[in-house]
Amino acid sequence: SFVAGLVGSTTDRMIIDLVLRLAGSLGMRVTAEGVDSEEKLALLAALGCEYAQGFHLAMPMGEHECTHWLRERAHLSAHASN
């Protein structure tokens, strides 16, 4: 995974940047997988990656737990914008 080496590898960072730019030029969106730290999430955001998933954001969960998790975040987000 290029995301795994994002922090320590200039080559992996360049590959991720290239993939993001290629996807953008094709009108596609990219979801980075395996994001397990705030540092990786911040680097991906700085490169223009809008979507990510991984243990840093949430552990695997079932349908009901996921629904609750999403509703809770939507509620927090709504209050943060007020």
* Predicted confidence (pLDDT) per residue in 54-76, tens digit: 999 999 999 999 999 999 989 87
* pLDDT at 1 (0 to 100): 75
* pLDDT at 34 (0 to 100): 94
What is the average per-residue pLDDT within 23-52?
96
* pLDDT at 36 (0 to 100): 96
pTM for the structure as a whole:
0.81
In this structure, are strands 31-33 and 51-53 parallel, antiparallel, or unpaired?
parallel
